[in-house]
Amino acid sequence: MEKGLGDIWVYLSASPLLWLGATLVAYLAGLWIYTRTHRNPFANPVALATLCLVTLLLATDTPYATYFNGAQFIHFLLGPATVALAVPLWRHRADVRRGALPLAIAMLAGSATAVVAAVFIANTLGADRQTVLSLAPKSVTTPIAMGISERIGGIPSLTAAMVMVTGMLGAIFGPLLLRWLKIGDDRAKGLSMGMAAHGVGTAISYTMSPLAGSFAGIAMALNGLITALLVPLLLTWLM
Amino acid sequence: MVGALALLVVCQLIGEIVVHGLHLPVPGPVLGLLLLVGWFALRGGPGKEMAGTADGILSNLSLLFVPAAVGIVQHGQRFLTQGPAIVLALFGSSVLTIIVTAYAFLWADRRFGAKAAGPAAESAGHDPFDTDTGAGGAADKGGGPA
């Protein structure tokens, strides 16, 4: 019996099926809890699924590379999903055109705030240089953030982890903060969520309204560009 | 479904090729997004198939972030030793970014924005696609975004 189970484990742990399945099931479980708790921001499905999978990986002593071998099929869809943001962007093109200048101003201010605040706080609290550099691009969507991190001397995979923590913090506290500040404009809501919490913020914004989601998508897409250009400039001044 | 997926992947592919060929600081999928918007402009908008496929993918966007998020497991040591600095930096920066972005937009919109009574209502009037994929479509589905 013991040996039989062991054999099955050896087989499964070498095939992508196990961790692909585990990721889907963990996410569905997270989503179930999220809807059951009336969409409590603290029960964010990405955070719940991540917690569950990290625990599983540590408990079974599975390296991340093995996990990713299965999960990469889901991860891959991030690219086409980013392209698919063209659809909501097209639907709201009139709003975007009308708000082009305010959009540009808000995004420049938001991008600079994200970088300066992260670097300043981490520096003040005594984080080491590599950590600080890896933190600088954390508000940007993962692939861009990793590219920036590499260029400025950070650790790309550490940046990826920080991007995800940022996304989850934004998803949890962003809606609470916006409610507390009594910001009612869906464009401002989506824009700030997309700036602070990239794709995770965009996903949350879609649940607020399609207009908020579109503005979040725009913010996420353009923030990548703006931050890529701003970070090297800001770092020479900050570090 | 397959046609729409092919179009998404081809846009991304062209985006990647251009970005790598010209060493642009933009990621391939973002350029792919712009290409697809250009395609819509030529064709007069996304067809029903593309609209349905895109909405399907985007309403499950949260799921796609899980594999990258689990990557945090590789940096346990650093999070243990510098955890408070990292978490406070991320938290403080996120809160400030939301506040600054939201108020900067509201200020700039009042100052420079085109004077329009109700931007959301007006665009819905323009746009036939808005109605069938309204908030209800994304939010009421069980598999809606997080």
A176 has a pLDDT exceeding 60: yes
Mean residue pLDDT across chain A: 86
Q: Are residues A48 and A94 in the same domain?
A: no
Cα distance from A103 to chain B (closest Cα, Å)? 6
Cα distance from A157 to chain B (closest Cα, Å)? 8
Q: Are residues A62 and A88 in the same domain?
A: no
Total of domains in chain A: 2
Q: Are residues A124 and A193 in the same domain?
A: yes
Q: Six-digit token pair at A210?
A: 């399609």
Residue where a domain terminates, one of A76, A98, A113 = A76
B121 has a pLDDT exceeding 60: no
A59 has a pLDDT exceeding 50: yes
Asked if A105 reaches chain B (Cβ–Cβ under 8 Å), the answer is yes
Q: Are residues A147 and A196 in the same domain?
A: yes
Q: Are residues A211 and A192 in the same domain?
A: yes
Q: Are residues A23 and A100 in the same domain?
A: no
Q: Are residues A95 and A48 in the same domain?
A: no
A229 has a pLDDT exceeding 90: no
Q: Are residues A64 and A130 in the same domain?
A: no
Residue where a domain terminates, one of A76, A92, A113 = A76
Q: Are residues A143 and A172 in the same domain?
A: yes
Asked if B131 reaches chain A (Cβ–Cβ under 8 Å), the answer is no
For residue A27, the enclosing domain spans: 2-76
Closest residue on chain B to A90 (Cα): B37
pLDDT at B50: 93
pLDDT at B25: 67
Inter-chain CB proximity A229 and B25 less than 8 Å: yes
**pTM to 2 decimal places:** 0.76
Asked if A98 reaches chain B (Cβ–Cβ under 8 Å), the answer is yes
pLDDT at A19: 92
Inter-chain CB proximity A80 and B134 less than 8 Å: no
Report the complex ipTM.
Answer: 0.80
pLDDT at B114: 64
- A99 vs A196, higher pLDDT: A196
Instruction: Indicate the pLDDT class of residue B146, thresholds 50, 70 and 90.
Output: very low
B133 has a pLDDT exceeding 60: no
Cα distance from B3 to chain A (closest Cα, Å)? 13
- B92 vs B24, higher pLDDT: B92
Residue where a domain terminates, one of A17, A47, A76 = A76
